[in-house]
Amino acid sequence: MSERVSREGLSVAHQLAAFIEIDALPGTGITATQFWAGLAALVAELGPKNRDLLQTREDIQTQLDNWYISHRGVDYSFETYQDFLKETGYLVDEGPDFKIETQGIDPEIAQIAGPQLVVPVMNARFALNAANARWGSLYDALYGTDAMGDLPPAGAYDQARGDRVVAWGRAFLDDSLPLAKGSWSDVSCMSQTKDGFCADDIGLTHPEQFIGRVGDGDSLGGYIFKNNDLHIIVDVDSASVIGAADRAGISDIRMESAISTIMDCEDSVAAVDGADKTLAYRNWLGLMKRDLSEAIVKGSETFTRRLNADITYTTAQGLPAHLKGRSLMLVRNVGHLMTKPAVLDQDGAEIGEGLLDALCTTMIAMHDLNSDQGNAMHGSVYVVKPKMHGPAEVAFADEIFSRVEDILGLPHHTVKLGIMDEERRTSANLKECIRAAKNRVAFINTGFLDRTGDEIHASMEMGAFLPKGDMKTTPWIKSYEDRNVDIGLKCGLQGKAQIGKGMWAMPDRMGDMLAAKMGHPEAGANCAWVPSPTAATLHATHYHKLNVKQRQNELAAAGPRGTLKDLLTVPVLSGRNLSDQEIQTEIENNAQGILGYVVRWVDQGVGCSKVPDINDVGLMEDRATCRISSQALANWLHHGVVSHAQVMAALHKMAAVVDRQNAGDAAYRPMAPEFTGLAFQAACDLVFKGRIQPSGYTEPVLHARRLEVKAAQAAAAVDAASAA
């Protein structure tokens, strides 16, 4: 990044400065001088505190390492271990019980239980698709996936499969919107009378579920219902292919699907410089101003995708009303670790990226705060903050946003905070982490992959860890998941905040998802991550089967489940011997996953994608999946389970596999047989230098290698221009 401009003692990438001043600030009431002076003060005053907290991480990790080394082969009690953790500050004393005091929360956060999407904000198409995924076609989701046990045949519409879809949909309506007698499968006509909704002169078992109608008279488009706070639209169109073959003219069942969406500036993006950050912020601005658009080419057709409008309808009482047409959008900032060359301080050092994200994303969201019928309807900005280690770091995030609010002239606690429970020190101190931001908390959630990556790194010196798959059945992970819900409920999150669960990583396995992901609402989570709009529609059916509020009340009445002892039980092999085949399989699985993700990240700047695993099953991969795989191999290397030569041989072998899997990508650059490319080198760094990466994070390695690639591409472009 060669072109920079000076702003209030800061050196700013020219494209970022131009975007802020020309595009983002107008309409907020904030002048350029106010903005840059505010950022300079934020960097000067909070930058040192940020660095001190990162040093605390390292100091605590050193103490953990030394303790594990000194206690190898020692039969110590949990109480001894717990006392040590308290002495280091790893564990803090819990204070008295309390309830969060968050105000101004939208119903998508406080009231409605349902799916949540996470998408890279740098990809406008993905961002628009996710925002528009508030509504999805159940018929399309069933027909086009393996949700019913098989995939659709190739070619034109298959009537037999369509009939199965309709039958599945009718059964869903029977469960969610039961008629006073009979079945939806027997309905031949529908109407609205003075008494409400009727199907063949039969009303609903719960008449209050009928909300209203879309359309009017001859242009009737459908009937709107509500179950467990989620809306269902039964579309009527006798002229459509599906409706014409339906006794009642039902053409589709539209589901309220992705209730909220996290627009991600972190794990799913590859943003390494000022140009990348500008693109992320520009798309966030388009979402907040509701003018983001993207030209889409499908076959011979080109169309423009924009944010959906609200759905207008007539209530059961005959009044005009509307339903929100878009997901509630949250924005995920980066954590406290990384710096960026996008902005340099007065000493020429990169500023903390988290400080830049906090000010920029909040300022951009002011366009929504100043509008009617936009994203947030109660004067809030929703920011998800990842990768925080313990209460002090959560308190620091709270302080950052208080300062941001002061700079922008916003009331304190305008910014609501989502706490990612994905680091061991945060899980162990979750109650106090929530207390540290009790006026802002709008979200806590669990994430197995990042959390496991930190589990391995934090206890690296304790011993060799179990294979990844085996960890899922160990006591710590169950305690982690249960405690997150139990502590969240104890701290008063019900009715004020989301308690979330992690991602379903296999977007092509919707049948398996339908079978497994019911476990998330059953666990008391009022939102859970899904990998696509289609998955959101299918997962939404789970929230019709179970009332999450009632389930949370049951769990709260039953008392806490997971224990701190279980949570802190490290999942090491503990004398278990693995076969040569088990070891080889684990090495190759991890190596393939790392390479498949890293090669797209480093060479193409793709931060999240569906990466085929070793068995060619597509998995959604982001930096969290890369973190656990690299830490797992680093751990086994450190403890002699595998050798450097074994791992390198697996990396070579799997590079050829990844090359084959990407053979259809014209932009792809093969790693084999030379193994000299920057992407392959990055993968090697993640594994062979994984033990010394801060908290086992992948960002430092990936960012450095991606910057090398971009510099080489820029130099090549200059050379080509000179030659021309």
At residue 561, what are phi and psi to the nearest 5 degrees? -110, -65
Report whether pLDDT(45) > 50. Answer: yes
pLDDT in tens, 669-692: 999 999 999 999 999 999 999 999
What local confidence, expressed as pLDDT, does residue 218 receive? 52
User: Distance between CA atoms of 552 and 263, rounded to whole angstroms?
Assistant: 27
Whether the Cβ atoms of residue 105 and residue 496 lie closer than 8 Å to each other = yes
Residues forming a β-bridge with 192:
197
What is the band of 216 on the pLDDT scale with cuts at 50, 70, 90? low
- The two tokens of residue 15 are 């494209």
Report whether pLDDT(312) > 80. Answer: yes
The predicted model gives 218-241 an average pLDDT of 91
pLDDT higher at 366 or 1: 366
pLDDT higher at 564 or 621: 564
Whether the Cβ atoms of residue 359 and residue 39 lie closer than 8 Å to each other = yes
Angle at which helix 274-289 crosses helix 124-131, to 10 degrees, equals 30
User: Distance between CA atoms of 529 and 609, rounded to whole angstroms?
Assistant: 15
The predicted model gives 573-592 an average pLDDT of 95
Residues forming a β-bridge with 530:
117
How many CB atoms are closer than 10 A to CB 515?
A: 11
For residue 151, CA distances in Å to 154, 235, 435, 507 come to: 9, 24, 48, 13
What local confidence, expressed as pLDDT, does residue 371 receive? 85
- The two tokens of residue 359 are 């000010």
pLDDT above 90: percentage of residues in the chain: 92
What local confidence, expressed as pLDDT, does residue 447 receive? 86
User: Distance between CA atoms of 242 and 134, rounded to whole angstroms?
Assistant: 23
pLDDT in tens, 507-518: 999 999 999 999
pLDDT in tens, 119-140: 999 999 999 999 999 999 999 9
Report whether pLDDT(219) > 70. Answer: no
User: Distance between CA atoms of 373 and 324, rounded to whole angstroms?
Assistant: 8
Q: Where are the alpha helices (DSSP H) in 546-612?
A: 548-558, 564-567, 580-604
pLDDT in tens, 497-507: 999 999 999 99
- The two tokens of residue 425 are 């020190």
Convert 204-252 into a string of H (helix), E (strand) and C (coil).
Answer: ECCHHHEEEEECCHHHCCEEEEEECCEEEEEEECCCCHHHHCCCCCEEE
E-assigned strands of 31-171?
A: 114-120, 135-137
Report whether pLDDT(629) > 50. Answer: yes
Is the Cα torsion angle 442, 447, 452, 457 positive or negative in sign? negative
Whether the Cβ atoms of residue 498 and residue 443 lie closer than 8 Å to each other = yes
Q: Is 425 a catalytic residue?
A: no
> How far does Cα 491 stand from its chain's mean position?
23
Report whether pLDDT(275) > 80. Answer: yes
> How far does Cα 130 stand from its chain's mean position?
12
Provide the 3-class DSSP secondary structure of residue 669: coil
What local confidence, expressed as pLDDT, does residue 1 receive? 43
Q: Is 332 a catalytic residue?
A: yes
Convert 300-344 into a string of H (helix), E (strand) and C (coil).
Answer: CEEEEEECCCCEEEEECCCCEEEECCCCEEEEECCCCCCEEEEEE
E-assigned strands of 316-466?
A: 320-323, 328-332, 339-344, 350-352, 381-385, 415-421, 441-446
User: Distance between CA atoms of 599 and 692, rounded to whole angstroms?
Assistant: 22
Residue with tokens 């169950």: 478
At residue 440, what are phi and psi to the nearest 5 degrees? -125, -20
Report whether pLDDT(217) > 60. Answer: no
Report whether pLDDT(492) > 70. Answer: yes
User: Distance between CA atoms of 24 and 18, rounded to whole angstroms?
Assistant: 9
At residue 374, what are phi and psi to the nearest 5 degrees? -95, -130
User: Distance between CA atoms of 443 and 87, rounded to whole angstroms?
Assistant: 30
**Does the N-terminal peptide bond of residue 673 adopt cis geometry, omega within 30 degrees of 0?**
yes
Report whether pLDDT(627) > 80. Answer: yes
Annotated catalytic residue within 237, 622, 623, 691: 622
Provide the 3-class DSSP secondary structure of residue 9: coil
User: Distance between CA atoms of 569 and 425, rounded to whole angstroms?
Assistant: 13
User: Distance between CA atoms of 263 and 326, rounded to whole angstroms?
Assistant: 13
Report whether pLDDT(295) > 70. Answer: yes
Annotated catalytic residue within 134, 332, 403, 425: 332
User: Distance between CA atoms of 131 and 262, rounded to whole angstroms?
Assistant: 9
Provide the 3-class DSSP secondary structure of residue 345: coil
CA angle 204, 210, 211 (to 5 degrees): 175
User: Where does residue 157 rank: exposed (0-12), middle (13-18), buried (19+ CB within 10 A)?
Assistant: exposed
Question: What dihedral do alpha carbons 553, 557, 561, 565 form, nearest 10°?
Answer: 120
pLDDT in tens, 435-468: 999 999 999 999 888 999 999 999 999 999 999 9
